[in-house]
Amino acid sequence: MNFNTILIVAGEPHSIFLEIFFKSIKKNTFKKPMILIASENLLIKQMKKLNFNFKIKLIEKTNINTKLLKNNCINLINVDYKFTHPFQKISAKSNNYITECFSVALQLISKNKSLSLINGPINKKYFLNGDSLGITEYLAKKNKLMNEVAMLIFNKKLAVSPITTHIPLKSVSKNITTKKIYSHVKLINDFYKKKFKKIPSIAVTGLNPHCESNFKNSEEKSIISPIIKKLKMKKFNVSGPFPADTIFIKNNLKNYDVVIGMYHDQVLAPIKTIFGFDAINITLGLPFLRVSPDHGPNEIMAGKNTSNPKSLIQALKFLDN
């Protein structure tokens, strides 16, 4: 994983992202050069509104010489975007702009394997509009890797990964399969081996409360327990299924690097309670390394200059190592 340059797609233009980006590069020094993909006009207007002052170096999107990039300024690929106010209400009006930003990034990555990607948050209601479940799935679809990626919410002390992501609870049981669980465990295992040179200890939760069900053939019995047994036979360091209401007790957590849950909030709610903003979202299975802050666009706080940049700082530090 030798990534030399960090591409940053600013995401939703009227979110808190540029604010936390300004705060991140003002307070920290990073070794690897960064290229921001955003609107120059919006960048200048938000910088002025938030009382930051950085030099901007425009970069041609078709001809990047990473050796000439420096981090004493903002290296910017400008994507045109028309707006009336730098912090106007989030709407579908920014969809084409966000799409173009991602398109520029993915084209550059396809030509240069030394690039990694950070993206700012987007509003799923407007940007994805039911076409994808989230940016994890959006990028998987763009790379023709549907059902072959995994979301990992990472902190060096503990990471979590949901088998299903942004789907209704009523649909979760229908989308849990032995194939998905096996793929998740393998992706996580391969990632830890490459990045940290270690075999991760992985805990898998059940789906039902206390891993029990009144039905004769619960998901624990028919899907989760059999695939865990198979994974153990193949020498993966995996255990479970564990009841989700107790796996996050401190005495349990000290034994595991990763907890895999069956649905989004089953594992994301606990890790956000434990670590707050000190975690990042990593997409496993893509042909490049994609990381994002583990929070949304937070329209309510946009323009107030009170947002916490910790998750973005952790994402930048993770890629900077």
- Residues 34-84: pLDDT tens digits? 999 999 999 999 999 999 999 999 988 876 777 778 778 999 999 999 998
Question: Domain coordinates of the chain in residue numbers?
Answer: 1-149+285-321, 152-276
pLDDT in the model for residue 125: 80
- Low-confidence residues in the chain, pLDDT < 70: 1-3, 63, 129-133, 213-215
Name which of 6, 4, 80, 15 is nearest 302 in CA terms. Answer: 15
| Fold match flag (1-149+285-321 vs 152-276) | yes
Which class does domain 1-149+285-321 fall in?
Answer: alpha beta
Rounded CA-CA distance 256/250 in Å is: 10
Q: What is the pLDDT of residue 213?
A: 67
Q: Write down the CATH number for the domain with range 152-276.
A: 3.40.718.10
pTM of the model: 0.88
Q: What is the pLDDT of residue 212?
A: 77
Which runs of E-coded beta strand occur in the chain?
A: 5-9, 34-38, 56-58, 74-78, 115-119, 150-154, 159-162, 202-205, 238-242, 258-261, 280-284, 290-293
Maximum alpha-carbon separation in the chain? 65
Report pLDDT digits (tens) over 134-148: 888 888 888 887 778
The pLDDT score that the predictor gives to residue 1 is 43
